[in-house]
Chain A
Amino acid sequence: MGEVWTLAEFRHGELSSVSYELLNRGKNLSQKLDTALASVILGYDIKKEDIDELIARGADKVYVVDDKNLENFLVESYANVLIALLDEYKPDIFIAAATTTGRTLMPYVAVRKKTGLTADCTVLDIEEGTGNLLQTRPAIGGNILATIKTPNTRPQMATVRPHSMKPAMPDKNRNGEVIYKKYDESLFKTRSKYLRFIKDESQQVTVQDAKVIVAGGKGVGKEENFAIIDELAELLGGAVGASRDVVDRGWKTYPHQIGLSGKTVSPALYIAAGISGAVQHIAGMQTSENIIAINKDSDAQIFHLANLGIVGDLNEVLPLLIERIKEYKAKEASANV
């Protein structure tokens, strides 16, 4: 039985926490299959702490390719290296996060390996008897769930929706094997060049990475009113989301758009304010763990999804809520002194 591999994401010199979510998923699978769980980390100047952290979070093995040529993600060189690794070690299962990197690299690799790849899975399991990977994903705007397998080719590949599972907890006492691989310069040859990263200051917390999203719709009324959405998001340490109507009006930029033609998210908490809940919006957020909706119209579709629905004016509810959260936090802070 081949190993279960997860792709650790190392961007701008930092290991991203989706890497630990994948290890949590991978552990389930490797235990059921009674095989080793490994992480693959590609990048430049990878720190020993990061490798140790992967082991602490569940990796039995870590495959490391540390090369100046891998400093920034370019699909051609990353794919070449991965294919070399897959060819040599022949894992049974290979999963990556459904981030912009995972969603670019995995299909590029799966085509070359002539193997199946399932996108943006929310559930992974092992089929009794065959040991095949069962990959469940929402499709058609979340209207259906499909379970898919790759019966005849290996590795079985999947991308996994970020935040669809908690990160594995660290255990500093775990031991693991580290395998450093070096590759010939020719493998890194690309016809693409990385120029630079431009940080979007309005995306301090991005919607894909956020545990909490506070989203505003047309019901917010005007651009200036979005300040209360921004403030609430900041208080909760979350990101700001928006419906398409808001983005089309220019109140928020496209990276904030949630839905069919925007981002698909599944945060732990989604607060929807002044959003009607059109199918195209719901398609992007219905897998959120907790949903709180605030809308003037008691018949708004969004209430069908909400764990807690407030029928009321967001311009009354949110300022009061913000005030109360601040009071609560101040009290907590003074109690802790």
Chain B
Amino acid sequence: MKIVVPIKQVPETSNVKMNPETGTMVREGVESIINPLDLYAIETAIRLKEKFGGQVIVISMGPDKALEAIKEAIAMGCDDGILLSDRKFAGSDTWATSYVIANGIKQIGDFDLVICGERATDGDTAQVGPGIASFLDLPLSTFTSEILSLNDGKIKVRRLVEGGYEEIELELPAALTVVKEISDPRLPTLRGKLKAKKMEIPVWGPQNINADEENLGLKGSPTRVVKIFTPKVTREGEKIIVKDEKTLNEAVDKIMDYLIKKEFI
């Protein structure tokens, strides 16, 4: 089994800043972590490797700093890592990002599975996983919540959909995006950390992945950010404090009035 896991490094806090001119994120001064939802993809891949043997390769597109994310994944138990990094990749939308990662994966070659997180907590699009699958022309299961079986070149999975679960079977090679329900990510081990520290992670640019320059970065991105603004979240809400029987009744009266006025009952 050769499993490729695309992971993204994202800012730690939810309070990241945006550059209103370029519409891109200001990454300086914020701590970076592996996209929390990618930990489930990493864990899923490692468990499959433990069961069926093989190799797990993490791949990330981003600045040099993303090497930290790759090393952390290796400390958790992944075998190898590749960083896709070049100035020309900057400013990519989900189309161009999927293109670069898919080309990187083609270069790795002869893989059985690509496992992505459901979505990244910064861009929050959930489009890159299906995008990679489309570029690689792979059968795809999104929102995967359980792997039921893997044999005879086929994988049977359960996916979380509106109102329940769907079971589907895909021929390998295939792509999955996974939800949190699929596994409990392990922590990096000390031994893993030592191994990761010593490891040289290759950094690939456009020429290493046979990328067409027309498809990279802002130039390769069909979408454009027009503007970025901050929504007003606070509401002019009314607050009632329950202190005793009387105020309790008043509070419930208020809720009832609200529900009736807005026709919820």
Residues in chain A within 8 A of chain B (CB atoms): 11, 72, 74-76, 79, 99-101, 103-104, 106-112, 114-120, 127, 134, 138-153, 190-200, 203, 206, 208-209, 212, 235-236, 253-255, 257, 260-262, 268-269, 279-280, 282-283, 286, 290-292, 298, 303-313, 316-317, 320-321, 324-325, 328-329
Report whether B134 and A200 are in contact in the complex, using a CB–CB cutoff of 8 Å: no
Q: 21 A–B contact pairs at CB < 8 A?
A: A100-B143, A103-B126, A103-B127, A108-B134, A139-B122, A139-B124, A140-B123, A140-B124, A142-B233, A145-B230, A145-B231, A148-B223, A151-B224, A192-B141, A195-B167, A255-B181, A260-B14, A269-B264, A305-B234, A308-B240, A325-B256
Q: How far is the CA of A142 from the CA of B222 in the complex (A)?
A: 23
- A328 adjacent to B130 (CB under 8 Å): no
B residues 150-167 in Cβ contact with A at 8 Å: 156, 158-167
Q: Is the interface of B mostly helix, strand, loop or mixed?
A: mixed
**B192 beta carbon closer than 8 Å to chain A:** no
Q: Which residues of B sit under 8 angstroms from A262, Cβ to Cβ?
A: 180
Q: Which residues of B contact A253 (CB under 8 A)?
A: 181
Task: Bin chain B's interface residue count.
Answer: 35 or more
B265 near A325 with CB under 8 A, answer yes
Chain A positions within 8 Å of B143 at CB level: 100, 104
User: Are the CB atoms of A111 and B131 closer together than 8 Å?
Assistant: yes
- Is B218's CB within 8 Å of the partner chain A? no
Q: Is B255's CB under 8 angstroms from A292's CB?
A: yes
A190 near B264: Cβ-Cβ < 8 Å: no
Q: Could you tell me which B residues sit within 8 Å of A by CB distance?
A: 14-16, 18, 23, 25, 36-37, 93-95, 98-99, 121-131, 133-135, 139-143, 145, 156, 158-171, 174, 179-181, 221-231, 233-235, 237-242, 247-249, 251-252, 254-256, 258-260, 262, 264-265
What chain B residues lie within 8 Å of A195 (beta carbons)?
156, 166-169
Bound together, the chains give a CA A286 to CA B252 distance in angstroms of: 23
A residues in contact with B171, CB < 8 Å:
191-192
Bound complex: CA A182 to CA B25 (Å): 46
Partner of A317 from B129, B164, B248 at Cβ < 8 Å = B248
With the chains together, A312 CA to B255 CA distance in Å? 13
Contacts of A146 in B (CB 8 A): 23, 225, 227-228
Partner of B124, one of A119, A209, A324: A119
What CA separation (Å) do A235 and B15 show in the bound complex? 37
How many angstroms from the CA of A290 to the CA of B249 in the assembled complex? 21
The answer to whether B237 and A203 touch across the interface, beta carbons within 8 angstroms, is: no
- Could you tell me if B122 and A308 are in contact, using CB atoms closer than 8 angstroms? no
The reply to whether A311 and B239 form a contact with Cβ atoms under 8 Å apart is: yes
Known pairs A114-B95, A236-B264, A260-B121; A200 contacts B163 (CB<8 A) = yes
Asked if B165 contacts A292 (CB within 8 A), the reply is: no
Give the Cβ gap from B163 to chain A, nearest Cβ, in Å: 5
Contact of B130 (CB < 8 Å), options: A107, A196, A304: A107
Contact B223 A142 (CB under 8 A): no
Q: How far is the CB of B21 from chain A (nearest CB, A)?
A: 13
Complex formed: what's the CA distance from A111 to B135 in Å? 7
Residues of A within 8 A of B235 (CB): 291, 304-307
Nearest A residue to B138 via CB reads A191
